[in-house]
Amino acid sequence: MKALVYEGPGQKEWKEAPDPQIQHPTDAIVKMEATTICGTDLHILKGDVPAVEAGRILGHEGVGVVTELGSGVSELAVGDRVILACISSCGRCSYCKQGLYSHCLADEGAPGIGWIFGHLIDGTQAEYVRVPFAENSLYKVPDGVTDSEGILLSDILPTGFEIGVRNGRTKPGDVVAVIGAGPVGLAAVMTARLAGPSKVIAVDLDDNRLARAREFGATDTVNSSDADWQDKVKALTDGLGVDVAIEAVGIPSTFTGATRIVRPGGTVANVGVHGEPVELAINELWISDVAITMGLVSTSTLGMLLKLVAEKKLPVEKFVTHEFTFDEILNAYEVFGNAAKENALKVLIRN
């Protein structure tokens, strides 16, 4: 088969690779119909994730068709069209029983790490992929759900909802601010509406992305290049700040900004992946009863979100701005790596 192979920092190649084989009774082999690129893939290519070794096939999102099953898989059939969850989980260990699939303790990749595709085992940017724990990591695609819709359920939609909206303890009537209107931030904007907030405020430096945020459900937007952007956000509340501040960028200044716009008793939900330490002004925050949450998506809500997508309650096809074939995957990386210039959100890469 052909696959996108990581060859070390700054190096990747679309080339021939060995076909995956069943290794355990709970495995499945899936022929990929479509995959996409995540910001995490760009971090890997920069050398920011040293656990990823040269020779690894990248990617952790996808839609495909089951072509082979291990002897222990009974709830799936060859020919099933499926969504691959970005988190692989056994469903049986103590963390899985809590719904914390991202910390699955099974001995695949590394115990305690559920994100293994394109990280600790070969991933989804390939013509075929081996899926561990198939019955707990694959979701049958209902009729009428397109590749463009299904691909969003692998990662960013559950991430925005679970780590942003749910961890942020969003409830009806809340004012929610989402800092960062990239794909994951927009997923938080879209799924925040499920909790019934009175307002969803999108904050970003890019006016084009702020315009998109309104399409995805934001009631208000604030450009954070303005020196008084925090005051502008508070002006959209009762002056005390937002109930939920979702950080979806992953740099110190945006996290600090989130802590400064949240009201007493509110929640800062960190979604962004941070590459350096952040200073926490706990001397100011402790008295305000502010909660701070963070985490890696578990995809435990993938099934629920899939039902909403299937019923067209979440118009996720808006996320896909560019389409490529597998043989054009290097071009797809170029576009996604220059997302602001290309006005790109998610790229769909078809087999």
Q: Per-residue pLDDT averaged across 204-209, rounded?
A: 95
Instruction: Let me know: does 135 contact 75? Beta carbons within 8 Å.
Output: yes
Q: What is the pLDDT of residues 17-36, one digit of tens each?
A: 999 999 999 999 999 999 99
Task: Categorize the per-residue pLDDT at 177 as very low, low, confident or very high, splitting at 50, 70 and 90.
Answer: very high
| Cβ atoms 188, 197 nearer than 8 A | no
Q: Average pLDDT of 211-222?
A: 97
pLDDT at 166: 98
Domains, the chain, with CATH or none: 2-155+299-350 (3.90.180.10), 159-294 (3.40.50.720)
CA angle (148 as vertex; 100, 317 as ends), nearest 5: 95
Q: What is the 3-state secondary structure (H, E, C) of the chain?
A: CEEEEECCCCCEEEEECCCCCCCCCCCEEEEEEEECCCHHHHHHHCCCCCCCCCCCECCCCEEEEEEEECCCCCCCCCCCEEEECCCCCCCCCHHHHCCCHHHCCCCCCCCCCCCCECCCECCCCECEEEECCHHHHEEECCCCCCHHHHHHHCCHHHHHHHHHHHCCCCCCCCEEEEECCCHHHHHHHHHHHHHCCCEEEEEECCHHHHHHHHHCCCCEEEECCCCCHHHHHHHCCCCCCEEEEEECCCCHHHHHHHHHHEEEEEEEEECCCCCCCCCCCHHHHHHHCCEEEECCCCCCCHHHHHHHHHCCCCCHHHHEEEEEEHHHHHHHHHHHHCHHHHCCCEEEEEC
Question: Residue 48: its pLDDT value, please?
Answer: 86
pLDDT band (50, 70, 90) for residue 54: very high
Is the pLDDT reported for residue 113 higher than 90? yes
Q: What is the pLDDT of residues 275-318, one digit of tens each?
A: 889 999 999 999 999 999 999 999 999 999 999 999 999 999 99
Q: Of 300, 293, 244, give the one whose Cα is nearest residue 272.
A: 293
| pLDDT at res. 209 | 94
pLDDT for the residue numbered 53: 96
Tokens (6 digits) for 93: 């260990």
> Quick one: average pLDDT of 123-127?
98
- Say if residue 340's pLDDT is above 90: no
Does the structure show a pLDDT above 90 at 76?
Answer: yes
pLDDT value at residue 29:
98
Give the mean pLDDT of the chain.
96
**Apex 194 CA angle, 193 and 200, nearest 5:** 20
The model's pTM is 0.96
Query: At a CB cut-off of 8 Å and minimum separation 6, what does 341 contact?
Result: none
pLDDT of residue 125: 98
Only one residue has tokens 């075929």, namely: 128
Q: What is the pLDDT of residue 275?
A: 82
- Please answer whether residues 201 and 176 qualify as being in contact, where contact means their C-beta atoms are separated by less than 8 angstroms: yes
Take residue 11 and report the two structure tokens written for it: 């190096």
Sole residue written with tokens 């942003």 = 164
